[in-house]
């Protein structure tokens, strides 16, 4: 059974149809890229999956459960985690405390009240900082990080609660070439424990890390399949690749 199944998603904003019958299937431990021209509906599709938008029509099933109407918090509890273009890092807090907060958001009020969490979560916080090559800066404020490092901190925060599915909307936006390369390296190991849906304009980046690729155009799925298959599709080349 697939981890995520979106079926026939339609999203209408006033007179504009942003999604027009989009399907998306994500397997366990699959890295899936989402590309398409500006305004083709990529972010809207991500938001319908994450619960930031409710589809006008269609269904979203996650881990065998219909979550079409579920709140973002319910989806998070079910194992979905996301990082959108807008930052959620608290710049005045240390890197350590940013990750601790991300973990505590998933912890029960009882455990928080009993102050059990800080010690228990210490190892997890340090492991995430280590994995994202930020451990030397654990006690610096997040505002001291470069743009790329802030993105890595955010990805670490999204991964800290050990989600089954991570949603990333343009995580490499504004990064240098070297930072993009490192981002790919940092993401690869998480495939062993979760699936990823990633919106990206950088096709080389998608090619390096994704198993499958979906191309959206005007709210519809133009093509989906292996990266190689999708890239060789003449309609995709016509609509997307020549514009990129
Ligand atoms: N909340 C909203 N209200 C009205 N229109 C919206 C809203 N969100 C998105 N749209 C419109 O829906 C269409 C799809 O937008 P969306 O952001 O999903 O595209 P995208 O493929 O992510 O684009 P980009 O690559 O530029 O980020 C666009 O025409 C956009 O203006």
- What long-range pairs does 133-141 form, CB within 8 A, spacing at least 24? 133/182, 133/186, 134/95, 137/95, 138/94, 138/95, 138/96, 139/94, 139/95, 139/96, 140/94, 140/95, 141/91, 141/92, 141/93, 141/94
Q: Which CATH architecture has domain 1-79+164-244?
A: 3-Layer(aba) Sandwich (3.40)
Helix (H, G, I), strand (E, B) or coil at 171: coil
| Candidate from 6, 10, 13 with most ligand 1 atoms within 8 A of CB, to mutate | 13
Pocket test for ligand 1, best of 17, 43, 86, 197 (most atoms within 8 A of CB): 43
Whether residue 114 is predicted with pLDDT greater than 80 in this model: the reply is: no
Lowest mean pLDDT among 10-19, 28-37, 98-107: 98-107
Percent of the chain at pLDDT above 70? 91
Which of 9, 16, 85 to mutate to test ligand 1, by most ligand atoms within 8 A of the CB atom? 16
Q: What pLDDT was estimated at residue 241?
A: 56
The DSSP code sequence of 50-87 is: HTSS--SEEEEEETTEE-TT--HHHHHHHTEEEE-SS-
CA angle 238, 240, 243 (to 5 degrees): 90
pLDDT at residue number 203:
84
Q: What is the mean pLDDT of residues 224-240?
A: 86
The ipTM assigned to this model is 0.97
pLDDT per residue as tens digits for the range 154-173: 999 999 889 999 999 999 98
Q: Whose CA is nearest to atom 1 of ligand 1?
A: 13
* CB-ligand 1 contact for 214 (6 Å cutoff): no
pLDDT value, residue 84? 64
Q: Which residue, judged by its Cα, is nearest atom 18 of ligand 1?
A: 41
Angle among Cα 226, 227, 228 to the nearest 5 degrees reads 90
Q: Distance from the CA of 239 to the center of ligand 1, in angstroms?
A: 18
Tell me the average pLDDT across 218-242. 86
- CA 65 – CA 80 distance, rounded (Å): 13
Task: Give residue 89's pLDDT.
Answer: 87
User: Measured from the CB, is residue 38 less than 6 Å from ligand 1?
Assistant: yes
Q: For residue 202, what pLDDT is reported?
A: 85
Q: Report the mean per-residue pLDDT for the chain.
A: 90
The domain locations on the chain are: 1-79+164-244, 86-162
CA of 19 to the centre of ligand 1 (A): 9
What pLDDT band is residue 73 in, cutting at 50, 70 and 90? confident
Asked whether 15 lines ligand 1 (CB < 6 A), one says no
Instruction: Read off the pLDDT of residues 99-112 as tens digits, 9 standing for 90 and up.
Output: 998 888 766 555 55
Whether 129 shows a pLDDT value over 70: the answer reads yes
pTM above 0.95, yes or no: no
């Amino acid at each position: 059974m697939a981890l995520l199944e979106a079926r026939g998603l339609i999203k209408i904003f006033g007179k504009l149809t942003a999604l027009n019958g989009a399907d998306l299937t994500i397997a366990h431990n699959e890295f899936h890229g989402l590309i398409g021209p500006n305004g083709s509906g990529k972010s809207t599709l991500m938001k319908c999956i994450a619960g930031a938008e409710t589809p006008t029509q269609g269904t979203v099933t996650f881990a065998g459960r219909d979550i079409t109407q579920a709140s973002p918090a319910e989806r998070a509890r079910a194992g979905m985690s996301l990082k959108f273009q807008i930052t959620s890092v608290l710049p005045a807090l240390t890197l350590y405390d940013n990750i601790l907060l991300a973990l505590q958001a998933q912890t029960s009020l009882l455990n928080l009240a009993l102050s059990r969490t800080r010690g228990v979560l210490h190892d997890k916080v340090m492991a995430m900082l280590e994995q994202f090559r930020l451990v030397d800066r654990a006690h610096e404020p997040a505002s001291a990080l470069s743009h790329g490092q802030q993105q890595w901190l955010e990805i670490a925060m999204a991964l800290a609660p050990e989600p089954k599915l991570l949603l990333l909307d343009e995580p490499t936006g504004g990064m240098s070439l070297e930072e993009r390369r490192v981002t790919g390296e940092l993401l690869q190991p998480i495939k062993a424990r979760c699936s990823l849906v990633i919106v990206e304009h950088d096709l080389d980046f998608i090619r390096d890390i994704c198993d499958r690729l979906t191309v959206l155009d005007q709210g519809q799925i133009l093509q989906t399949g292996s990266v190689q298959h999708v890239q060789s599709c003449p309609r995709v080349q016509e609509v997307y690749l020549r514009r990129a």
